[in-house]
A and B are shown apart, each in its own frame.
Chain A
Amino acid sequence: MNTLVLMKMVPDTVEELEIAPDGKSLDVEAVRPIVSERDDHALEQALLLKDKHGGTVTVVALESRDVDEVLFTALAKGADRAVKVAAGDAMLTAAETAALLAKVLPAVPNLLPAQLIVSGCQAIDDLDGVVAPSLAERLQLPYLGIVTGVEVAADGGRATVYKEYAGGTRGRYVVCLPAVLGVQAAEKPPRYVPVAKVRATMKAKTIECVEAPARDEASLLEIAAMTKPQAAGRAEMLEGSPEEVASKVAEILSSRGLA
């Protein structure tokens, strides 16, 4: 059971986000990157499958500030191999990232075929969740997204994949491997790895670096503008004692026919 986990860095929204002077992108200097939460779940799902079936887990990420720490943390958690793709400083769109990965992954020695390629089904800067399905299309592999559970058959040829739907229903799919999965949540929360273990991993293991080939496809989409939401200033703060505030709320609701 060999699994490839695609991980990426996204802006950490705990910090204030700032728009760059071009008005079309985030100010990358002001942003602190953090690993995409759903990618962390994809890694956990891969590690759970390794715990159960053995095999290997390889993590792949595009070069980015702080990405080494994320890759070493993945190795400390139990991944076997970490590969970093140097693709220059340009901010890639989701479709461009998928195109790049489709070109790079087959060129890395001993990487493909992997039985599963997993990634987060979305990221805060890829709400459409385009990367994994686009990559699947380019690699001519089946794709399932919004995945919340994976079971692999004993012969490793097929996987049973669970998806959650609205209203408390759950879908069960059977997919032939190799396949690409977009993970919404692993079966368990991502595991904790003690800092001392990450430090020891940094000394004992290395991250492989591969150069990305020149990109020859331009994105068909262009960001026209990026702005912060305009404050409308329509919120009215109700003042007074809890009783006074409660009667004002009641008045407002009844005056608008809501109560």
Chain B
Amino acid sequence: MRFTWFNLMPWPYLPDDFREKNRSVWVDIPNTLYDPKKGHFVYHQYMDQLEYAETLGFDGIGCNEHHQNGYGLMPSPNLIAAGLARRTSRAAICVIGNSIAGYNPPIRVAEEFAMLDVISGGRLVAGFPVGTPMDTNFCYGQIPALTRDKYGEAHDLIMKAWAEDEPFAFDGKYNQLRWVNCWPKPIQKPHPPIYIPGGGSIETWDFCLDHDYNYSYLSFYGYLRGKSLLEGYWERVAKRGKDDSPYRAAFAQIICVADTDAQAEELYAEHCLYFFNRCLHVFPPFADPPGYRTVNTIKYGALSQLRMEAQRIMQGLTWKQLVEERFIIAGSPETVRQKLEECITGLRIGHLFCLLHTGNMPDWKTRHSTKLFAEKVMPHLRHLWPEWKHDDRWWIHPMEERLRPEETRPGAEKPGQEWR
């Protein structure tokens, strides 16, 4: 079982009346709510936390991409990852990922991911989301009905750019490049592990299975709600005749650990409610532009009504509901261990994205929860999936002999190595 410490990087200063005064945390959030001087401290705090997680033994540290979003401060996750690559040397750097349908030309992603893989010594996990409609369609202007097609083309271009040893011409519908010649190329061969974060489109399952990529279900609604979707995925895996290695799937979960269950509420309730009440306050039409979801997906899953329904649920949430309905897993180390084991085995996932910072949680609480998790929960869950413990098909393969830049003081001169 593998654990990645993941930070959504929410803006922690949304006002108390944010929900009443604004229709959406995403797309058209008033950008006067952002204060760049406070932002300076926020970025460093969040990146420090990611680095801290590595020292505690998390397998990976991760971030993702969002635009014009009050709960995600990373329009460019690659910048965050570049910082982490210089200050860590063991953990996988999981960029989950770049919404490639919005990059013009997408060869940029092949280049930047290759740079990250090279700088980190082969520690990149490369995520290729189709991108949320908020990001890809409303912020980045891509046509909803063509997004998936454009995504597919961008994917083919990037993978070919990594694989080919000779320059080639790419005559795509959306991208025409006469000279594709990826420079640099990634360390990991044939390519870094690919994770496809899905929100619930059933087409994504087949895409993952066609290419043997990891399917990551990123939802904030917990494993009870995630269960039907992952069951659908595993059925599809079986139907396609693939093995059922749990490492084919990943799941994101908000987790809060304290010494006791009561203390968890005392320490974290306010911050989790901040997240659910303010950070997930999205104007429903932004979540469902016509054409983004195929008719099959709409029929399989929820109507947009249910997205409206989800918004209504958010409104009156209490800590008790969050915990009982398993939106979050919170409590003493033992409580968290039990519930997580149920989540992991129930969903059959080999990879957990641990959301241990939530909403406007201050640094000390984040570290407290993270440390308890690393010391008192994680070791007891490592043993899960013993029959697959050697399955590293969806994990990084770094260089053995690599630099450990975080272990040398920045700017320190080494005797005999001065420039002459």
Does A pair with B?
no
State the B residues within 8 Å of A (CB): none
